[in-house]
C-alpha cells in the first residue's frame, strides 16, 4: 500500500480569487483524482469526481443546461412550472437550479429509488410524484409527459434534449482535455443514464484525441445496448415501450428500462470503442473499496464504472493511464444495499476499543 506523506505544516489555501453570483456558477471544473492504493502496478488510474458539483452529481451540468438553453430560446417562460422524470440526480440538480432561478418544479420518480433522493428534492423545494416500481423508467416518464401535457408545464426532457450532450461537450470533455494536456490518457470509462456524458465526450474527444479509447458500460443483467435490439420510440423520440432486454438492477441512475434518444447518437456515430457489462455486486464492492482505501466516497454507479476501469487495467500495457467517471456521492445511497453491511450500533471491535479505558460511559 502506498502511503502519501505530507509535512504537517505544508498545506495552505489562497482562495479561488473570485466571488460567485450564484450557486449555479460553481457547477463544473470537477477534479480528476489519482488512485494511489487500488491501481495495479504499472497502470495509472484517475477518477473524475462529479460529487464536487454543488448538487453532488454530474447531473448538475445537465440541469443548468436544460434550463438556461430553454430560457435562451424562449420555450421556458418566467415562473412556469418545470417537470421531469428522474431516478434522482437529475431531479436534485433541477431542484437546485429551479430554486436558484425561481421556477416551481415537479418530478416523477419510480418508488424503487432511494428515499434520500426524494427527500433532497423536497428539501430543495420540488414536488415529488412517485410511480409504481413495476412500471420502471417508462412509468415515471409517461406520468411526467401526461402531467406536462395536462397542465402546460415545461418538459425538461433529459432523455431527448440536445442540451444534454451539448453541456458535456462544452464542459466535461473540455475539462478532461485541459486536465490531461501534455499527459498520457489511454481510456475514459463511463456508464449511461441518459447517455449525455458518453455522447458529449464522444463528440469532442474523438476529434481532439483520436487514439483515446472511450469505454461504455451497462449492468450485466440489463444489457440494452449489448442486446442489439432497437428501441421502439414515439415520434418525439421518447420510449414507446420498455426495452425487452431490461431487468431490474441495483445500479441506481444507470440504464433505465429504455435506450434514451441522447444515447442513440453515441450508438449510431460509434462514439465508444468497447461496451463492457458490469454486475451490480461488483460495483458495490469497488464503491466500498474506493471509500475505505482511497477516501473517495461514490455511489454504486461510480463503483460500477471503476470496476470496469479496473478490469481494463488488468490487461493494459505498462504505463497506461485510465480515467473513470464517478457520477455522484455515496451519500445518495444510505438507504440502499450499498450500506447494508455497516452496523448502526457499535460493532464488537468498536465495543472492545470503547471498553479499553474505564472512563466515560458509552452508548
User: How confident is the model over 179-218, as pLDDT tens digits?
Assistant: 999 999 999 999 999 999 999 999 999 999 999 999 999 9
pLDDT category at 291 given cuts 50, 70, 90 is very high
**Side-chain-facing half-sphere of 161: CA atoms under 13 Å:** 21
pLDDT given at position 317 = 97
Q: Which of 32, 87, 301, 320 is catalytic?
A: 301
Q: Which residue has the higher pLDDT, 363 or 277?
A: 277
Q: Which of 59, 114, 143, 304 is catalytic?
A: 59
Q: What is the pTM of this model?
A: 0.92
pLDDT at position 3 over 60 = no
pLDDT category at 112 given cuts 50, 70, 90 is confident
Per the annotation, the verdict on 301 as an active-site residue is yes
pLDDT at position 98 over 60 = yes
pLDDT given at position 233 = 94
Q: Which fold has domain 23-53+168-339?
A: Rossmann fold (3.40.50)
- Average pLDDT for 125-138: 91
The pLDDT > 70 percentage for the chain reads 97
pLDDT given at position 253 = 87
pLDDT category at 6 given cuts 50, 70, 90 is low
pLDDT at position 27 over 90 = yes
Rounded to an integer, what is the distance from CA 345 to the centroid of its chain? 30
pLDDT given at position 363 = 62
The sign one gets for the Cα dihedral 67, 71, 74, 77 is positive
- Average pLDDT for 160-186: 98
CATH topology identical between 23-53+168-339 and 59-155: yes
* CATH number of this structure's domain 59-155, picked from the four choices 3.40.50.1100, 3.65.10.10, 3.90.870.30, 3.20.20.70: 3.40.50.1100
pLDDT category at 10 given cuts 50, 70, 90 is confident
The residue extents of the domains of the chain are 23-53+168-339, 59-155
Parallel, antiparallel or unpaired: strands 32-34 and 44-49: antiparallel
Amino acid at each position: 500500500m502506498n502511503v502519501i506523506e505530507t509535512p504537517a505544516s505544508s498545506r495552505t489555501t489562497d482562495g479561488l480569487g473570485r466571488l460567485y453570483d450564484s450557486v449555479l456558477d460553481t457547477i463544473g471544473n470537477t477534479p480528476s483524482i489519482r488512485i494511489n492504493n487500488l491501481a495495479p502496478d504499472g497502470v495509472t488510474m484517475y477518477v473524475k469526481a462529479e460529487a464536487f458539483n454543488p448538487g453532488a452529481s454530474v447531473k448538475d451540468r445537465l440541469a443548468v443546461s436544460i434550463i438556461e438553453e430553454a430560457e435562451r430560446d424562449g420555450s421556458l417562460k418566467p415562473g412556469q412550472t418545470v417537470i421531469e422524470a428522474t431516478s434522482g440526480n437529475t431531479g436534485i440538480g433541477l431542484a437546485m437550479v429551479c430554486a436558484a432561478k425561481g421556477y416551481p418544479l415537479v418530478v416523477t420518480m419510480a418508488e424503487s429509488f432511494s428515499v434520500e433522493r426524494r427527500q433532497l428534492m423536497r428539501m430543495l423545494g420540488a414536488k415529488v410524484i412517485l410511480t409504481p416500481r413495476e412500471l420502471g423508467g417508462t412509468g415515471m416518464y409517461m406520468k411526467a409527459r401526461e402531467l406536462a401535457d395536462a397542465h402546460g408545464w415545461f418538459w425538461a426532457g433529459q432523455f431527448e434534449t440536445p442540451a444534454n450532450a451539448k453541456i458535456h461537450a462544452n464542459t466535461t470533455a473540455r475539462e478532461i482535455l485541459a486536465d490531461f494536456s501534455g499527459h498520457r490518457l489511454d481510456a475514459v470509462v463511463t456508464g449511461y443514464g441518459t447517455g449525455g456524458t458518453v455522447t458529449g465526450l464522444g463528440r469532442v474527444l474523438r476529434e481532439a484525441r483520436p487514439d483515446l479509447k472511450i469505454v461504455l458500460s451497462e449492468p450485466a443483467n440489463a444489457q440494452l445496448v449489448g442486446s442489439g435490439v432497437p428501441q421502439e420510440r414515439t415520434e418525439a423520440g421518447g420510449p414507446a415501450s420498455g426495452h425487452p432486454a431490461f431487468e431490474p438492477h441495483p445500479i441506481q441512475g444507470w440504464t433505465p428500462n429504455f435506450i434514451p434518444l441522447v444515447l442513440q447518437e453515441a450508438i449510431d456515430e460509434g462514439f465508444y470503442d468497447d461496451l463492457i457489462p458490469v454486475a451490480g455486486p461488483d460495483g458495490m464492492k469497488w464503491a466500498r473499496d474506493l471509500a475505505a482505501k482511497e477516501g473517495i466516497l461514490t455511489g454504486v454507479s461510480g463503483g460500477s464504472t471503476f470496476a470496469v476501469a479496473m478490469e481494463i487495467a488488468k490487461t493494459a500495457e505498462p504505463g497506461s493511464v485510465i480515467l473513470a467517471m464517478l457520477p455522484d456521492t455515496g451519500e445518495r445511497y444510505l438507504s440502499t444495499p450499498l450500506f447494508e453491511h455497516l452496523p448502526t450500533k457499535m460493532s464488537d471491535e468498536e465495543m472492545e476499543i470503547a471498553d479499553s479505558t474505564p472512563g466515560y460511559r458509552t452508548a
